[in-house]
């Protein structure tokens, strides 16, 4: 189904540097787990014998259930992941560290997968550039653009409506917003009202509901809003509880935080715990893991979309390319980074409205402007 072409190797790693940059969010995102107003953006640059590549870490500082924070992941990269990769390169006589080896070497745990996703992306970027290819062509994506999916924030219904208005003006074909039980119906109704009957509306509960009578009552009230799906109503890994909830309400359900392994995707399908899954490359060790997750969702007849984490332009280009795969049947988080970040280190010009164009130059996406980056750690082999 998905045919990835072979890549040139980028040669032995000479230098691995972690960088950070900071940006505020244009509209603070209020979820059931807290408010996000700032974004610490972490990049990795790998210089190799034949080239250079950049990756971006798609973690956040205060993650919801199960995910490592940016701080934890950076500490793990410095203390464990990068030294392990350099050891592996040394053990192979200082040879090339291929991007496809990173997942198997580092992945398996949530923090290992997050670390792997960053390094895989940097090495893949270098390999694609050495191979005169971009990510979309390597993945076999045939479209030049993807449907525009916006995730919008707002501390009040009025703010949410302003954000929805802007997203719709820019051509969003799907609106996705965070909810909690208190304002679930009001938020959903406001979005449906703004979106009309052609634009998909998705609500993300981030695990803020339970199986109580009052929760079920609120969730049933959402049935009137024709929402594309309700994301992660319950927190945790209890798929039996999720299947029970699924049988009690008629809105389509999607799982996000719960889904970080291929086995879980199979189990979601087997239990009938949801109709759809949100696939985040950071949870699956990067692009290859995300492609495997998409295939697993398809095999289980689950719908899927690629979930964003308010990445800058580089990380967003990876989400956009994956969103272009034909097996990703829902609208993904593809709106350009400058629609939610005040300062995107990767954006040279303001993004256009309408369907986002996939990165058509070499590599995974646009590199960050180094003048806006602060080095955190530098590693050299040997």
Q: Which two tokens stand for residue 282?
A: 């950071």
**119 or 242: whose CB is closer to Mg ion?**
242
Q: In whole angstroms, how close is the CB of 202 to Mg ion at the nearest point?
A: 9
Q: In whole angstroms, how close is the CB of 204 to Mg ion at the nearest point?
A: 4
Q: Which two tokens stand for residue 289?
A: 């893991």
Geometric angle at alpha carbon 229, from 118 and 283, rounded to 5°? 15
**121 or 229: whose CB is closer to Mg ion?**
229
**204 or 311: whose CB is closer to Mg ion?**
204
Q: In whole angstroms, how close is the CB of 201 to Mg ion at the nearest point?
A: 14
> Which residues lie near Mg ion (CB under 5 A)?
204, 231, 256
Cα separation, 111 vs 67, whole angstroms? 7
**120 or 231: whose CB is closer to Mg ion?**
231
Q: In whole angstroms, how close is the CB of 256 to Mg ion at the nearest point?
A: 4
Classify 7 in phi/psi space as left (phi over 0), alpha (psi -120 to 50) or beta: beta
Q: In whole angstroms, how close is the CB of 187 to Mg ion at the nearest point?
A: 14
Q: In whole angstroms, how close is the CB of 278 to Mg ion at the nearest point?
A: 6
The three state secondary structure string of the chain is: CCCCCCCCCCCCEEEEEEEEEEEEEEEEEEECCEEEEEEEEEEEEEEECCCEEEEEECCCCCCCCCCCCHHHHHHHHHHHHHHHHHHHHHHCCCCCCCHHHHHHHHCCCHHHHHHHHHHHHHHHHHHHHHCCCEHHHHHCCCCCECCCEEEECCCCHHHHHHHHHHHHHCCCCEEEEECCHHHHHHHHHHHHHHHCCCCEEEEECCCECCCCHHHHHHHHHHHHHCCCEEECCECCCCHHHHHHHHHHCCCCEEECCCCCCHHHHHHHHHHCCCCEEEECHHHCCCHHHHHHHHHHHHHCCCEEEECCCCCCHHHHHHHHHHHCCCCCCCCCCCCCHHHCECCCCCCCCCCCCCCCECCCCCECCCCCCHHHCEEEEEECCC
Cα separation, 283 vs 255, whole angstroms? 13
Output the residue with the shortest Cβ distance to Mg ion.
Answer: 256
**119 or 255: whose CB is closer to Mg ion?**
255
Q: In whole angstroms, how close is the CB of 207 to Mg ion at the nearest point?
A: 9
**47 or 231: whose CB is closer to Mg ion?**
231
**7 or 225: whose CB is closer to Mg ion?**
225
**67 or 231: whose CB is closer to Mg ion?**
231
**46 or 297: whose CB is closer to Mg ion?**
297
**307 or 365: whose CB is closer to Mg ion?**
307
Q: In whole angstroms, how close is the CB of 356 to Mg ion at the nearest point?
A: 20
Bridge partners of 38? 24
Q: In whole angstroms, how close is the CB of 257 to Mg ion at the nearest point?
A: 7
Q: Which two tokens stand for residue 376?
A: 């955190």
Work out the number of other CB atoms within 10 angstroms of the CB of residue 157.
14
Q: In whole angstroms, how close is the CB of 358 to Mg ion at the nearest point?
A: 23
């Amino acid at each position: 189904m998905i045919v990835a072409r072979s890549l040139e190797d980028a040669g032995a790693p000479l230098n691995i540097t972690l960088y950070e940059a900071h940006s505020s969010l244009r509209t603070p995102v209020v979820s059931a787990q807290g408010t996000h107003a700032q974004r610490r953006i972490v990049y990795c640059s790998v210089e190799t014998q034949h080239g250079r590549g950049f990756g971006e870490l798609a973690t956040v500082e205060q993650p919801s259930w199960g995910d490592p924070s940016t701080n934890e992941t950076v500490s793990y990269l410095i203390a464990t992941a990068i030294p392990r990769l350099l050891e592996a390169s040394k053990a192979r006589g200082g040879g090339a560290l291929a991007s496809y080896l990173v997942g198997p070497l580092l992945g398996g745990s949530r923090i290992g997968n997050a670390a792997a996703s960053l390094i895989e992306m940097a090495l893949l970027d270098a390999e694609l550039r050495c191979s005169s290819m971009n990510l979309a062509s390597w993945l076999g994506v045939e479209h030049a653009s993807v449907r525009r999916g916006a995730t919008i924030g707002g501390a009040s219904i009025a703010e949410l409506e302003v954000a929805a208005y802007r997203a719709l003006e820019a051509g969003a074909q799907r609106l996705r917003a965070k909810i909690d039980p208190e304002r679930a119906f009001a938020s959903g109704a406001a979005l449906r009202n703004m979106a009309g009957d052609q634009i998909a509306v998705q609500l993300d509960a981030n695990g803020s509901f339970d199986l109580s009578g009052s929760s079920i009552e609120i969730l049933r009230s959402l049935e009137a809003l024709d929402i594309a799906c309700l994301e992660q109503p319950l927190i945790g890994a209890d798929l039996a509880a999720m299947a029970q909830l699924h049988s009690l309400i008629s809105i389509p359900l999607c799982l996000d935080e719960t889904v970080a392994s291929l086995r879980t995707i199979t189990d979601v399908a087997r239990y009938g715990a949801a109709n759809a899954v949100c696939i985040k490359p950071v949870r699956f060790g990067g692009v290859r893991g995300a492609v495997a997750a998409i295939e697993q969702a398809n095999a289980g007849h689950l719908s899927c979309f690629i979930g964003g984490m308010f990445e800058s332009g580089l990380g967003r280009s990876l989400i956009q390319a994956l969103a272009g795969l034909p097996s990703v049947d829902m609208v993904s988080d593809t709106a350009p980074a400058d629609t939610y970040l005040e300062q995107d280190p990767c954006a040279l010009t303001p993004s256009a409205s309408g369907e986002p164009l996939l990165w058509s130059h070499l590599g995974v996406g646009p590199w960050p402007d180094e003048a806006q980056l602060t080095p955190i750690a530098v590693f050299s082999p040997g």
